[in-house]
Amino acid sequence: MPKNEIFQTKNLVRLALVAALYAALTLALPGLSFGAIQFRFSEILVLLCFYRKDYSISLILGCFIANCFSPMALMDMIFGTLATAIAVIPMFYIKNIWVASLLPVVSNGIIIAIELLVCYGSEPPVWFNMLTVGAGELVVVTIIGCVLFKLVFERSSRLMNVIGANKPNYFKKKPAEI
């Protein structure tokens, strides 16, 4: 992507909408978005970073905004946002969406479990929190998110255009190969 493209109005609006959508989806379902057992459906949006690297800005900002309202606000603002940053920044450089989807599973599974340990002590144990947070991410991002992107987005050039997908060689694929 050309450097001047990020500052075009259309792109800035797209990035702002994704950040707002992430925060709104997270806050709309607070019981599922925070804690040891979480299914943060807004996390599906991290897969946008697979197609376009500047979405990482949106997802980091959206996560930070949502985490301002977390029961562990300050810790979540720092470490929850860090977990998202670690997951989304390298995602664009991975060639397979299924592999890329594992980045938030691992980063959130480890970092959020440690955050829960620091905030709430050793009950439940850190390994249990790693398992439950990681499993929630796996279900939301890898299973639901990847299926959604592979079956809906990648089959529609119009939707790929809406998200501004610019993954190298993406548009050279034939629909049957997707």
pLDDT (0 to 100) of residue 174: 47
Say if residue 140's pLDDT is above 80: yes
Average pLDDT, the chain: 88
User: Total structural domains in the chain?
Assistant: 1
23-35 tens-digit pLDDT: 999 999 988 888 8
Contacts 24+ apart (CB under 8 A), 91-98: 91/46, 91/47, 91/49, 91/50, 91/53, 91/56, 92/49, 92/50, 92/51, 92/52, 92/53, 92/56, 92/167, 93/53, 94/50, 97/47, 97/50, 97/146, 97/149, 97/150, 98/142, 98/146
Q: For residue 2, how many other CB atoms are within 10 A of its CB?
A: 6
pLDDT of residue 2: 62
Read off the pLDDT band of 177 (50, 70, 90): very low
Residues 174, 92: Cα–Cα separation, whole Å? 21
Average the pLDDT over 15-41 and give the result: 91
Q: What is the pTM of this model?
A: 0.86
State residue 3's pLDDT score: 65
Token couple for 31 = 């019981």
- For residue 47, what pLDDT is reported? 96
Comparing 10-14, 16-20, 55-59, 81-85, the range with the smallest average pLDDT is 10-14
- CATH code of the domain covering residue 105: 1.10.1760
State which residues form the domain around 56: 3-177
Structure tokens at 155: 């089959």
Check: CB of residue 80 under 8 Å from CB of residue 88. Answer: no
List Cβ neighbours of 96 (8 Å cut-off, separation of 6 or more): none
Tell me: pLDDT of 19 over 70. Answer: yes
CA 92/CA 75 separation, integer angstroms: 27
Cβ atoms 133, 156 nearer than 8 A:
no
Kindly indicate the confidence band of residue 167, based on its pLDDT and cuts at 50, 70 and 90.
low
Distances (CA, A) of 150 to 39, 145, 176: 20, 9, 12
**pLDDT of amino acid 168:** 56
* Distance (Å, whole) CA 35 – CA 19: 21
Q: pLDDT at position 36, please?
A: 79
For residue 138, what pLDDT is reported? Answer: 97
